[in-house]
Amino acid sequence: MTSLLRVLILEDDPNDAELIRRLLADQFVLEVTRVQSKEDFDSALKTERFDLILAECRLGSCDGLSALAVALDLCSGVPFIFVTGTAGEDLAIEGVKRGASDYVLKTRLTRLVPCVQRALREAAQLTALRRSQAYLAEAERQSHSGAFAFDANGSLYWSEGLYRIWGFDPGQGVPSRMWQRVHPDDWKRFRKVVPEALRNRRDFTIEFRIVLPDGTIKHVRSIGHPSYSDAGDFIELVGITTDVTEAKRAEEEHERLRQLEADFAHLNRVSVLGELTASLAHEILHPIASARNNARAGMRFLEMIPPNMHEVREALACVVKDADRGKDIVDRIREHIRKAPPRRERFDLNAAITEVVGMVQNAIDRSRVSVRISLLEEAAPVVGDRVQLQQVVLNLVLNALEAMSSLDDGPRQLFISTMASATAGIVFAVHDTGPGLAPEQIHRLFKPFYTTKPTGLGMGLSICRSIVDAHGGKLWAEPNDPRGAVFRFTLPATAQAS
Ligand SMILES: Nc1ncnc2c1ncn2[C@@H]1O[C@H](COP(=O)(O)OP(=O)(O)O)[C@@H](O)[C@H]1O
Ligand SMILES: [Mg+2]
């Protein structure tokens, strides 16, 4: 051993002290402090740090046992060895009972070095053990967990962290009635899990709730692993319990927010459709009017003498087509109003856009806006929820129309396009020639409840962004040249539209 060994020797005989020092110096690099009285011993321990304490049992002024008591109090991990004459042997034995590491008789000083070596080794092991225990305790604290174990003899172990989770005092030992703290609704499952695991020789995982005396409820997850001897006998079960209350709350909160978002998205769709009533009514009236004309024509062909049955059949086929068209429109509206879980299907974004433009045609006409549409030639195949993405397009187009309707002069032009991009997939854009966006506005547009309209909800863009995000795309706004705003979103392209 090459590191410095700091030794405190309590010895009033200078010759003995010197002998001890020499014996140790053969084996260790030493720094020796010798004291002769209990007072000096106490103050040395208080002011300095030592790696080893050697003490005579019978001193003129005191006995070694009171020195031991002080050492155990001030530096309990430091090995303490009595080095004493035969007359002190009984005292030394008593000292070892009280916590001294060992004793060596002065008549057999050859034992001193091996005895010191062993005491130092044990002290180092003890320190390492205490340190790892402290680390484990800290790890339990940080991970909100605790360990448990029981063996075939029925001996039960609970770690500090487990006491903390169950809300018991470690000083009282493992509580015999901890099951009283299991939530009544979970008790049936709880009592079955360990016997079942043992019966099936399998690991178990169980989530249950703990109710503390003050009413606090904790959600915990326990996992356990039984082990067996080669002969198949149960040896022990070791497990860990983790307090998952916070994670559970976060999960619930997340679910609540997701639900809220879905509710808002639904609300937005319904309220936007409300704004479009005029447009939609017009769209439905169209096939109805057409059906009426075709029916009348059919009647006229029937009234002919003889009736022209060929034309009648033709007219009736047209009526059926008109009715189908009307039904399609109503189905589409219903689809938008319905509160359905998100879908994943492959569809053509171009067709979905054309449908939306149809829905807002009346609003476009009303706001005296000229529209130019330039869509990808073939198709724009994407995967996702068609209705949700139509909602995004609808919101962006309506925003553009609303922005331009506040203009007193200047052209009102709406440009809707889809383009293919090598990096981003498919890019959808709405250009308008409205008042445009102030630089400080651009960051706030997509925040919930940001609106500059007297009756605006300010949820439109925030919903659009979360829908586009959920589809793996991006939505952003930029100034248009020379005036107005551009809103663009990207969607990953897929191979083929079905
Ligand atoms: N095309 C646009 N041109 C100018 N401003 C816009 C445009 N689109 C959105 N905005 C601004 O963003 C705000 C938020 O839009 P949105 O989230 O759809 O809520 P709302 O339409 O209910 O106000 C609008 O109030 C408006 O100030
Ligand atoms: Mg809006």
Domain spanning 4-134: which CATH class is it, in words? alpha beta
* 332 has a pLDDT exceeding 90: no
**pLDDT-based confidence at residue 338 (cuts at 50, 70, 90):** confident
CA-CA-CA-CA dihedral for 360, 361, 366, 372, to nearest 10: 110
* 498 has a pLDDT exceeding 50: no
Highest average pLDDT, of 63-67, 342-346, 414-418, comes from 414-418
CB atoms within 10 A of CB 94: 17
Q: How far is CA 342 from the centre of its chain?
A: 23
Residue 336: burial class (beta carbons within 10 Å; 0-12, 13-18, 19+): buried
The strand pairing partners of 104, in sequence order, are 83
The CA-based angle 33-35-37, given to 5 degrees, is 165
**pLDDT (tens digit, 9 = 90+) per residue, 7-41?**
999 999 999 999 999 999 999 999 999 999 999 99
Q: Which atom of ligand 1 is nearest to the CA of 463?
A: 17
**pLDDT-based confidence at residue 497 (cuts at 50, 70, 90):** very low
Residue ranges lining ligand 1, Cβ < 6 Å: 395, 399-400, 403, 432, 434-435, 437, 445, 450-453, 456-462, 485
Cis peptide before 479 (omega within 30 of 0): no
For ligand 2, the distance from its centroid to the CA atom of residue 457, given in whole angstroms, is 7
Residues 162-189, mean pLDDT to the nearest whole number:
93
DSSP assignment of 181-239, as one string? Answer: GB-HHHHHHHHHHHHHHHHHT--EEEEEEEE-TTS-EEEEEEEEEEEE-TTS-EEEEEE
* 304 has a pLDDT exceeding 60: yes
Alpha helical stretches, state H, 304-417 = 309-337, 349-366, 386-405
For ligand 2, the distance from its centroid to the CA atom of residue 7, given in whole angstroms, is 81
Q: What are phi and psi of 274, to 5 degrees?
A: -55, -45
> What pLDDT, on the 0 to 100 scale, is given for residue 2?
66
Tell me how far apart the alpha carbons of residues 271 and 474 are, in angstroms, rounded to a whole number.
Answer: 24
Q: How many Cα neighbours within 13 Å face the side chain of 283? A: 23
Nearest CA to ligand 1 atom 25: 451
Tell me how far apart the alpha carbons of residues 281 and 378 are, in angstroms, rounded to a whole number.
Answer: 31
> What pLDDT, on the 0 to 100 scale, is given for residue 365?
86
Residues 480-486, mean pLDDT to the nearest whole number:
94
* 123 has a pLDDT exceeding 80: yes
**pLDDT (tens digit, 9 = 90+) per residue, 316-326?**
999 999 999 88
> What pLDDT, on the 0 to 100 scale, is given for residue 369?
94
In three-state secondary structure terms, 18 is: helix
* 276 has a pLDDT exceeding 80: no
CA dihedral sign, ordered 414, 419, 425, 426: positive
The fold of 342-498 is Heat Shock Protein 90 (3.30.565)
Ligand closest to 434 (CA) is 1
Nearest CA to ligand 1 atom 7: 399
CA dihedral sign, ordered 345, 348, 349, 352: negative
> What pLDDT, on the 0 to 100 scale, is given for residue 248?
92
Residue 367: burial class (beta carbons within 10 Å; 0-12, 13-18, 19+): middle
Q: Which atom of ligand 1 is nearest to the CA of 459?
A: 17
Q: How far is CA 323 from the centre of its chain?
A: 52
132 Cβ contact list (under 8 Å, min separation 6): none
Residues 195-213, mean pLDDT to the nearest whole number:
95
* 129 has a pLDDT exceeding 90: yes
> What pLDDT, on the 0 to 100 scale, is given for residue 247?
92
What integer best gives the mean pLDDT of the chain?
91
Query: Domain limits of the chain?
Result: 4-134, 144-243, 342-498
Tell me how far apart the alpha carbons of residues 13 and 394 are, in angstroms, rounded to a whole number.
Answer: 101
> What pLDDT, on the 0 to 100 scale, is given for residue 278?
66
| Segment among 115-119, 332-336, 382-386, 398-402 with least mean pLDDT | 332-336
* 420 has a pLDDT exceeding 90: yes
* 223 has a pLDDT exceeding 90: yes
pTM: 0.55
Q: Which atom of ligand 1 is nearest to the CA of 457?
A: 22
For ligand 2, the distance from its centroid to the CA atom of residue 248, given in whole angstroms, is 35
CA-CA-CA-CA dihedral for 139, 141, 145, 149, to nearest 10: 70
Residues 412-437, mean pLDDT to the nearest whole number:
94
478 Cβ contact list (under 8 Å, min separation 6): 485, 486, 488
Residues 449-455, mean pLDDT to the nearest whole number:
88
For residue 19, what is the enclosing H or E element? helix 14-25
Q: Which atom of ligand 1 is nearest to the CA of 484?
A: 3
**pLDDT-based confidence at residue 407 (cuts at 50, 70, 90):** confident
Asked whether the beta carbons of 202 and 184 are under 8 A apart, the reply is no
How would CATH label the architecture of 144-243?
2-Layer Sandwich (3.30)
| Segment among 87-91, 140-144, 272-276 with least mean pLDDT | 272-276
Residues 59-71, mean pLDDT to the nearest whole number:
88
* 63 has a pLDDT exceeding 70: yes
| Percent of the chain clearing pLDDT 90 (strictly above) | 70
* 273 has a pLDDT exceeding 80: no
For ligand 1, the distance from its centroid to the CA atom of residue 310, given in whole angstroms, is 55
| Segment among 180-189, 293-302, 338-347 with least mean pLDDT | 338-347
Crossing angle of the two packed helices 309-337 and 245-275, in degrees rounded to 10: 140
Q: How many Cα neighbours within 13 Å face the side chain of 231? A: 3
Q: Which atom of ligand 1 is nearest to the CA of 445?
A: 12
Tell me how far apart the alpha carbons of residues 343 and 269 are, in angstroms, rounded to a whole number.
Answer: 16
Asked whether the beta carbons of 183 and 169 are under 8 A apart, the reply is no
CA dihedral sign, ordered 177, 181, 187, 191: negative
> What pLDDT, on the 0 to 100 scale, is given for residue 495?
61
**pLDDT (tens digit, 9 = 90+) per residue, 347-361?**
999 999 998 898 888
For ligand 1, the distance from its centroid to the CA atom of residue 453, given in whole angstroms, is 8
Residues 247-256, mean pLDDT to the nearest whole number:
89
